[in-house]
Structure 1
Amino acid sequence: MTAILTERLRAALDHDDAIALLRGAIGCNSVTGNEAAVVSYLEAQMRARGIEAVETAEFLPGRPNVWGERKGVTGDRRLLFIGHTDTVHVEGWREHWAGTEREDPFGAPIIDGAIWGRGAGDLKAGICTSLAALSLLDKAGIRLAGDIGFAFVGDEESGEPGSGVSAGVKDYVARIESGAVDRPDFTVYVEPTRLAVYSAQIGFFIADITITGKSAYFGVPELGKDALKASHAVMSALWRHSDAISARAEHDLIGRGFLLITGLQGGGFIAVPETCKLSLIRKLLPGESLDTAAAEMEAVIRGAVQDSEIRVEIAYPAGRDHALGGTAAEIASDRPEVALLSAAVAAAMPGRGLVEGAPFWSESPFFVNRLGVPAVYCAPGDIRNCHTFEEHVDVEEYLAGIVAFASFMAGYCGVID
């Protein structure tokens, strides 16, 4: 049945409309904090494609979310497609591509079978895949029994001052909890996966560690407290701790946990260094507690500093669905919805649709862990070129994704003859 449906959908797909939809979305500058323009574009597209009850609301001043739904004939099941509207910055893009077709980060040129631009893969291709899939069902004359919701939220990306704490999805999930928005039965978050189906994802926390000693003239170092030397001891202890973490367990889909020191600042001007700052990120596996992991790390750090006169301060600047960071999430990889989506993708693009794990953190834990709603990641685009000057999405993969999503919508929601 999947193969027959796939061929029917492939024959009905409007390539030009689908490509124009994505190029228009990329053309809206939506660097984190500036989501309004692309939300306005998506709102218009949603209404034009027959999505009902389209609403927008600001999760922070000047920063809106947009959502809507297509009611099915029976409403027995509800499927949600969700993604973030914001992108990372474009600093250096024009200089990198000066004098070429790629110079404008929002120009969305088609080059060698790929659409280029900031947000192409992360994750405007996923958003547009879901919208174009609904239009494809309409064009193919397929009516759904179940409901489909669409929600596009801001503030997922990190990097912009005062932003990147998932404020958009927090607002949307709160509306589900209050009953203002209908609760989904299954969720597809459209992060780029190259059309794999990610049923598990990592958790994380970021820690900023400030070690403060006492400065002293270099000729009399015994009068100081060397923060850099203390930091060396801390780093050595943290690396040993990371090895111990990695040895504990291995997850079938996302590998081993670890701790990575990502930054070091310190030193004095011909003097004993008084202050040193470290930054690190900790990868967690499903089932690991953020609170326990942070407490373990703090004990390692404080145990490595032997001098009571050296102060240690630890901050966690990247709270997401948890005050310290983002929790890991997982649903059973053999769930029927996972198998159905995997089969729909494989039929649309042979070799794709494998069930894998996400090597990144995004917002599915708000559904899996907070709401108890099963969720996966799946969409066109390659995370390895996102956040870089090479960001692009292959047209063939994007069009196959539309067919796959439409087939999955039909299979999950049911079809009315």
Structure 2
Amino acid sequence: MSSPLNDRLSASQNAEADVLLLQRALGRESVTGNEANFAALLIDEMTDIGLDPGRGDFLPGRPNVWGQKTGSGDGPTLMFVGHTDTVHVRGWAEKWAGAAREDPFGAPVIDGKIWGRGACDLKGGICAALAAVRLLNQAGIQLKGSVSFAFIGDEESGEPGTGVSSGAADLVRRVKAGQIATPDFAVYVEPTRLDVYTAQIGFFIAEITIAGKSAYFGTPEKGVDALKATHQVLSAIWRHEEDLAAGPKHDLVGASNILVTDINGGGYIAVPGECRLSLIRKLRPGEDLEDTARAFEDAVNCSDLQDGITVNITYPAGRDHSLGGSPVEIDSDYPDAVALGACVQEAFGRRGEIGGAPYWSENPFLVDQIGCPAVYCAPGDISVAHTFEECISVEEYLAAIRAFALFMVRYCGTID
């Protein structure tokens, strides 16, 4: 059932301006490393709605942007967080050559959806949060508490030398230093189709080098076959994966698992002297990265490998932890998470269910490092992120604006 507040917000919403905001955002290419291009637009937009934005580089030429709508009374601080970078667009124009979607930054509206790189991951969420403040201004609603925003770079991990959450680490430093107010609750705007995710997986990526000794094919006895050893290592990994799949399951994100993602090796008419493989290990909330890495190494090293074989394991994708990204959760019945879901349901007529993120993003920095309860919630479908099909429903995006505005009012309170 719609409330008078929701009716008031619906009547005040300027859908055309909201769509144009997202189209302008998509028009600013911000592939990881080029966050400044989008940050400049965000500063303009935040200034226009009275947020008094700040900006600071987390790496030279790569800024974070933040701002706050300060409340007029004694109330809590709600923060919206999102990453400004997107994945690359290599192959996009070729995929859509001659079609309206050809320009990945053109942001056309086709069949009720806005197309372009970053539409769902996650400029739709960023724009929905900013447009919600504008909607409150248009509706003449003054908050008691404060709403803050932190838009950070370096979340995506597709470009060489980038994608290690340097922006999130910088945000934590600034909060601890008092430069940015510590929020009481945070919404990270990764796409959830407007459900509310109170839990997320963790991960580590392992790169394994299996080294033996190459030898001419006619004298194989002089070599040590790394490819045969790799077969043994893979068998051990898959046995370990079977144990994980049969083990404990999390109510929202399921069981832990391992996925081997790449293998390369061999020799030219010779005994293979070296093989390399990569894999990713999913962690359930409650699992510890160091413990899981140790158990993984024990499983690999128990293989009965031939003398002369060496196995080296590295972990190249450190995030909030040197080994990878930590899993995290808050209570699935956490009152503010449930309240946000109720606002989505009221504004959209559906969604707002409590769930778990099948991806890793940066809430561990908020929950574990500054003690702020945080959820994921935003328009958009994660299944089309990073693909040539990336788009976002206009209806869902506009509903997200109303839902976020409702939640800002109910979380922060009003002075009237």
Normalising by structure 2, report the TM-score. Answer: 0.99
Whole-Å Cα distance in 1 between the matches of residues 211 and 318 of structure 2?
25
Q: Residue 366 of structure 1 aligns with which residue?
A: 365
Identity of aligned residues (%): 57
Any residues of structure 2 matched to 1:64-103 within 5 Å, and which?
Answer: 64-103=63-102
Q: Residue 296 of structure 1 aligns with which residue?
A: 295
Shift of 1:307: 2.5
SS at match of 1:193: coil
Q: Residue 41 of structure 2 aligns with which residue?
A: 41
Any residues of structure 2 matched to 1:256-275 within 5 Å, and which?
Answer: 256-275=255-274
Whole-Å Cα distance in 1 between the matches of residues 93 and 4 of structure 2?
45
Q: Residue 16 of structure 1 aligns with which residue?
A: 16
Shift of 1:114: 0.4
Shift of 1:7: 1.5
Q: Extract structure 1 runs of 4+ deviating beyond 4 A.
A: none
Whole-Å Cα distance in 1 between the matches of residues 353 and 241 of structure 2?
30
Whole-Å Cα distance in 1 between the matches of residues 21 and 230 of structure 2?
51
Give the conservation status (yes or no) of the 8 Å contact 1:260–1:280: yes
Matched to 1:246, the amino acid is A
Any residues of structure 2 matched to 1:188-203 within 5 Å, and which?
Answer: 188-203=187-202
Give the conservation status (yes or no) of the 8 Å contact 2:2–2:347: no
Moved more, 345-354 or 389-398: 345-354
SS at match of 1:138: helix
1:267-314 residue CA offsets vs partner (Å, 9 max, x unmatched): 110110000001000000011010010011111111115234211111
Whole-Å Cα distance in 1 between the matches of residues 230 and 272 of structure 2?
11
Q: Residue 133 of structure 1 aligns with which residue?
A: 132
Q: Residue 375 of structure 1 aligns with which residue?
A: 374
Matched to 1:367, the amino acid is L
Give the conservation status (yes or no) of the 8 Å contact 2:256–2:284: yes
1:9-35 residue CA offsets vs partner (Å, 9 max, x unmatched): 111101111011100000000000011
SS at match of 2:302: helix
Shift of 1:76: 2.2
Whole-Å Cα distance in 2 between the matches of residues 247 and 86 of structure 1?
37
Q: Residue 385 of structure 1 aligns with which residue?
A: 384
Any residues of structure 2 matched to 1:136-147 within 5 Å, and which?
Answer: 136-147=135-146
Matched to 1:241, the amino acid is H
Normalising by structure 1, report the TM-score. Answer: 0.98
Give the conservation status (yes or no) of the 8 Å contact 1:2–1:344: no
Give the conservation status (yes or no) of the 8 Å contact 2:35–2:85: yes
Q: Residue 51 of structure 1 aligns with which residue?
A: 51
Count matched residues. 416
SS at match of 1:416: coil
Which runs of no fewer than 5 residues in structure 1 stay unpaired?
Answer: none
Give the conservation status (yes or no) of the 8 Å contact 1:264–1:279: yes
Matched to 2:48, the amino acid is A
Whole-Å Cα distance in 1 between the matches of residues 219 and 155 of structure 2?
50
Give the conservation status (yes or no) of the 8 Å contact 2:75–2:413: no
Which runs of no fewer than 5 residues in structure 2 stay unpaired?
Answer: none
Matched to 1:397, the amino acid is E
Matched to 2:214, the amino acid is S
Whole-Å Cα distance in 1 between the matches of residues 66 and 74 of structure 2?
18
What value does the CA root-mean-square deviation take over the aligned residues? 0.9
